[in-house]
A and B are shown apart, each in its own frame.
Chain A
Amino acid sequence: MHAAPDGIHVLDISTTTAGAWCSRMLAALGADVVVVEPPSGHPLRTIAPFGPDGTSIPAAYWLADKRSVTIDLDSIEGQATARRLAGRVDILVSSYRPSELAARRLRYADLGATSLIMGHVTPHGMDGPLAEVPGNDLTDAARSGWASINGNIDREPLKPAAWGSSMCAGIAASSAIVAALFHRDRHPGEGQEVDVAEVDVLAGMFAPALARSTYANEVFRRRDATDTLGGPVPVKDGHFALTLSRAHFWRDAMNLLGLPDLAEDPRWGASFYRQQHRDEYMGRVTEAMAQWDKAELFEELAVRRVVAGPVLTMAELAVNEHLRSRGFWVRPEGDPTAPEMPGAPFKASATPLALRHRAPGPGEHTAEVLRDPEASV
């Protein structure tokens, strides 16, 4: 959206992580995003942990690069203001359920702007039996199957770490919205509604497990052991994943670990064979790995061009020379005292993604946004 002739304007009335990440991605692409907060403040501002100044750290991440306007969408006046603002923007992002939109007269049809693109980012979508059922990151993981495969079989299922469901729905929604913009550029005036459900996105991400199960008519469950096929195992100073996929990875890794008989026997080159006969080698491989430091093992495997995964903490990632060299960590432009945060999720040569502003204070831009009813938001 950089270098777009007129810029793209977004109004975000969502209250969830998924909605916030959707509009955050649109902002990173260059759009001007105004987030609507209720008088009590955006709900995400209550999410722990908090920084030394008492403000929410997750909110600082999710609301960055946006302007903030306080509007009470539970009041008739506030709803009218939101409808007026929606008529001046290209994109409206909402996380409300159908009945909540109807009650506020904020349905697409209520807005009367056929060129508007309205992105719905909700737990269960705008139709279907669960459309009116509330949900969150945990219920998404449960209903999509992801919880059923995460974790160990002798323990409870696990949802993805952090906001691993909402964030993905936010990415999917932002891409669907940009696709709708692309269509509108080709067909001027043709806005539309885009409906992205968190549970749908997670079910899409569940596609391989679902297909394996339906092909075999057999449930695909959590792991019964933590071994190198499934993830990290202990090394001297931490944990290390050696999830080898291709034959040459296996050969070179086994030679490095001092297990030449495993390296040179061609049967072990095939991943399906390694899966079926893991008991025949797993003990020896993990014992050999336990003799290594994670950095040392990573470096030696990297030289041999073998996939390798040391478990890194945020402290290690903060000083990671590769991420530093790529300029991944960023501060908001012109804000040298702000803490660094993750930067662009991808690099785009002609339209580099930017982080222009820290998260706004609640309602920080109310006056400037509402002052001129004729100006774009």
Chain B
Amino acid sequence: MTPPPTAGPLHGTRGVVLTQAWAGNWCTALLGMMGADVIQVEFRARPDSWRGDYGAPIMSGIRDSATAQHPWNCNPLYNSVSLNKRCITLDLGTSEGIDIFRRLVVFADFVAENFSPRVLGNLGIDYAALAQIKPDVIVASLSAYGHDGPWANVPGIGGTIEPTAGQSALLGYAGGVPLNSGQMYPDPVAGLYGVLGIVAALHHRERTGRGQYIDLSMQEANLSVVGDAALEFMTNGTQRPRLANRHTTFAPHGIFATLGTERWIALACETEAQWGALCETARHPEWRSDSRFATNAARKANEDALEAVIAAWAAEADRDDLAARLVTAGVLAAPVLDSLEVAQDAHLRARNVVREVDHPEVGRRLQSALPMHFSRTPATIVRHAPLQGQHTYEVLEELLGMGAAEVDELVRLGVSGIGPPDGVDVGAI
């Protein structure tokens, strides 16, 4: 089968997924953007925390829009990490819901989830059970601490994995307290590794016909990305201090204030040529001959003094002018873009990594899309995050041959539907 020219390398594969929040949702969204047909199954009684509480107010920037109707469809968190999926709702606490889920898995190449480890087993749909229905299925679990070991049932989220994966101890100002990132960095790390695990399993299955189970611990995945610091301890017995923006080897390597409020520039030199170019751009040739700064080793040994002279100079400069001059001179440099500037950044827009996406309730918005480009199998189709239950009728008819009346009956029974299930009082919040 020849895929459509814009479908992506995973065209022709399908996932039936129970992912939620950030790590799981973004993992399966990336697979969807790479061409897989990803069917998100939502469990209304346990709403995705990234759709928000059912009674949460719609964000101020959206609230006055005539199309904005349901808070759970207007949450930027959910909508940002759920592109290219279809969404159905099923109450997995009912036998009808579980039955339909099992029937869908027959049509799936992969299943992914990021519940606590006990949940799939409790629902009777763990890997062993699903492999009975579909022997070559790939099941990926993204959990806080993995599915075995003493902490298997300890829950975690990005904000608690960052400290337990050794990252918070490394992030922060020199001499300051350990910090978490500005949003939960461990989640997208786990999401990326989840993509790797599932794609590698698809490749293996293509060659051998065999499925398998992927057990991803967010703690382990995140410890691996700071693994050089772990190996440093294992080799030298030392804990790397919090370095702020400094490099273990090169100087200068930092972020400095420029003219104005919240206008910062990042700059670094990894070679003597770059340092020479920086001194020239700064019109401070004497820095180069200063014995404290003459070599990288000297600059590293006198980094406080080095940063002081750079900071004093940068403080008088315009951020973007300075960044442009440094880049032209060959120095590693970049403006620190804020969140709205990133959305408008010419480079990211030119590469279609940030692009406009239409959404029925929130309108046309800039969003981050797939950060991978494929020359032969371009993956250029981008669809908005699904509304809750948007594709229930479509998917159940397409895969299971269910007529509208049958799905209507599921909705009447509360097995499917949209919004809070009966009995949930959103007004109480």
Q: CA A73 – CA B184 in complex, angstroms?
A: 40
Cβ contact of A341, chosen from B171, B230, B340, B350, cutoff 8 A: B230
| One of A143, A217, A243 near B337 (C-beta < 8 A) | A143
Q: Closest chain B residue to A51 by CB distance?
A: B235
A182 touches B245 (CB 8 A): no
Chain B residue at smallest Cβ distance from A218: B61
CA of A176 to CA of B200, assembled, Å? 10
| Contact A176 B268, beta carbon cutoff 8 Å | no
Q: Across the interface, which residues of A come within 8 angstroms of B286, CB to CB?
A: none
User: Would B343 and A214 count as touching, CB distance under 8 A?
Assistant: yes
Verify B182–A222 contact, CB threshold 8 A.
yes
Report the bound CA distance from A264 to B240 in whole Å: 42
Q: Is the CB of B225 within 8 A of A138?
A: no
Total residue contacts A-B, CB cutoff 8 A = 543
If over half of A's interface residues share one DSSP class (helix, strand or loop), that class is named, otherwise mixed; here it is mixed
Tell me which residues across on chain A come within 8 A of B244, comparing CB atoms. 156, 158
B260 interfacial by beta-carbon distance below 8 Å: no
> Contact: A200 with B371, CB < 8 Å?
yes
B32 close to chain A: CB less than 8 A: no
A124 to chain B, nearest CB (A): 7
A58 to B226, CA, bound (A): 10
Residues in chain B near residue A98, CB distance under 8 A: none
CB-CB < 8 A to B214: which residues of A? 346-349
A138→B332 contact, CB < 8 A: yes
Q: Which of B250-284 contact A (CB under 8 A)?
A: 253-257, 262, 264-268, 270
Number of B positions contacting A (CB below 8 A): 166
Contact across chains for A60 and B354 when beta carbons are under 8 A apart:
no
A3 within 8 A of B: yes
Q: Which stretch of B151-159, B393-401, B416-424 is in the interface?
A: B151-159
The answer to whether A203 and B200 touch across the interface, beta carbons within 8 angstroms, is: no
From residue A9, how far is it (CB to closest CB) to chain B in Å? 15
Q: Are B336 and A157 in contact (CB under 8 A)?
A: yes
In the bound complex, what is the Cα–Cα distance between A270 and B54 (angstroms)?
10
Which candidate, B97-105, B188-196, B402-410, is the interface stretch facing chain A? B188-196
Q: Is B180 an interface residue (CB 8 A)?
A: yes
Whole-angstrom CA separation of A321 from B140 in the bound complex:
24
Closest-CB distance, A152 to chain B (whole angstroms): 8
Q: Using an 8 Å CB-CB cutoff, how does the interface string of A131-171 with B read, 1 for contact, 0 for none?
A: 00111101101111111111110011111111110011001
Partner of A57, one of B181, B215, B228: B228
The reply to whether the CB of A375 lies closer than 8 angstroms to some CB of chain B is no
Cβ 8 A contact of A49, one of B49, B153, B189, B248 = B248
A99 touches B (CB below 8 Å): no
A178 contacts the other chain (CB 8 A): yes
Report yes or no: A231 in contact with B339, Cβ–Cβ below 8 A. no
Surface stretch bound by B, among A81-89, A278-286, A322-330, A366-374? A322-330
Inter-chain contact B182/A47, CB cutoff 8 Å? no
- Is A197 close to B, CB under 8 A? yes
> A269 to B429, Cβ gap below 8 A?
yes
Q: Is B53 an interface residue (CB 8 A)?
A: yes
Closest A residue to B341 by beta carbon equals A145
Cβ proximity bits B197-222 to A, threshold 8 Å, 1 near / 0 not? 10111111011101111111101110
Q: Which of A152, A210, A231, A340 contacts B159 (CB 8 A)?
A: A231
**Contact of B201 (CB < 8 Å), options: A52, A273, A348:** A348
Cβ of A49: which chain B residues have Cβ within 8 Å of it? 232, 236, 238, 240, 248
Inter-chain contact A302/B151, CB cutoff 8 Å: yes
Q: How far is the CA of A2 from the CA of B222 in the complex (A)?
A: 24
Which of B212, B239, B264 contacts A156 (CB under 8 A)? B264
A201 at the interface (CB under 8 A from B): yes
A111 at the interface (CB under 8 A from B): no
Is there a chain B Cβ closer than 8 Å to A62's Cβ? yes
Give A206-221 interface residues, CB cut-off 8 Å to B.
206-221
Q: Decide if A231 touches B162 in the complex (CB within 8 Å).
A: yes
Question: A residues 335-349 with Cβ under 8 Å of B?
Answer: 339-349
A139 in contact with B179 (CB, 8 Å): no
A171, B196: Cβ atoms closer than 8 Å? yes
Return B423 CB to nearest CB of chain A, in Å. Answer: 16
- Tell whether, in the assembled complex, residue B59 and residue A211 are in contact, meaning their CB atoms are under 8 Å apart: no
How many residues of chain A have a CB within 8 Å of chain B?
156
Q: Which residue of A lies closest to B365 (CB)?
A: A214
- Write out, one digit per residue, whether chain B residues 121-165 have a CB within 8 A of any chain A CB (1) or not (0): 000000100000000000000001110111101111111111111
Instruction: Give Cα distance in the complex from A58 to B227, angstroms.
Output: 8
B interface footprint on A236-268 (CB within 8 Å = 1, 0 otherwise): 000111110110010000000000000000110
Docked CA distance A200–B197 (Å): 21
CB atoms of A125 and B351 under 8 A apart: yes
Cα(A46)–Cα(B155), bound, Å: 40
CA distance A156 to B267 in the complex (A): 13
Evaluate contact between A135 and B197: CB separation under 8 angstroms.
no
- Complex interface: chain B residues within 8 A of A61 (CB): 227-228, 231
Residues of A within 8 A of B360 (CB): none
- Are B192 and A171 within 8 A (Cβ)? yes
Tell me whether B309 is interfacial, beta carbon within 8 Å. Answer: no
Measured CA separation A124–B353 after assembly (Å): 11
Question: How would residues 176 to 201 of chain A score, 1 for a CB under 8 Å from any chain B CB and 0 otherwise?
Answer: 10111111011000111111110111
Quick check: B338 and A183 within 8 Å, CB to CB?
A: no
Q: Is the CB of A215 within 8 A of B59?
A: yes
B198's closest neighbor in chain A, by CB? A175
B235 CB, min distance to chain A CBs, angstroms:
5
**Which residue of the partner chain, among B169, B192, B256, B345, contacts A168 with CB atoms under 8 Å?**
B192
CA distance A212 to B182 in the complex (A): 13
B332/A136 in contact, CB under 8 A:
yes
Asked if A46 contacts B249 (CB within 8 A), the reply is: yes
A172–B373 Cα distance when bound, in Å, is 11
The answer to whether the Cβ of A226 comes within 8 Å of any Cβ in the partner chain is yes
B346 at the interface (CB under 8 A from A): yes
- Report A-chain residues with C-beta under 8 Å of the C-beta of B229: 161-162, 314
Chain B 91-124 residues near chain A, CB threshold 8 A:
116
Contacts of A351 in B (CB 8 A): 200-201, 204, 212
A312 and B164 form a contact (CB under 8 A): yes
Pairs A–B under 8 Å by Cβ, sample size 30: A136-B332, A147-B245, A148-B182, A157-B255, A158-B172, A161-B226, A161-B242, A162-B228, A164-B185, A171-B189, A174-B196, A179-B374, A180-B377, A182-B202, A207-B81, A214-B366, A219-B340, A239-B168, A241-B162, A305-B154, A310-B163, A314-B169, A315-B233, A322-B149, A325-B148, A339-B231, A343-B224, A345-B193, A346-B197, A349-B127
Beyond the given pairs A164-B167, A182-B9, A243-B157, 14 more chain A to chain B contacts, judged by CB atoms under 8 angstroms and listed by A's residue number, are A127-B351, A128-B348, A143-B347, A148-B338, A172-B192, A180-B9, A203-B342, A221-B339, A231-B163, A231-B168, A317-B166, A342-B220, A346-B214, A349-B215
List of 9 A-B pairs having minimum Cβ-Cβ separation, nearest first: A149-B182, A243-B159, A231-B180, A309-B160, A192-B376, A211-B80, A350-B212, A314-B233, A200-B371
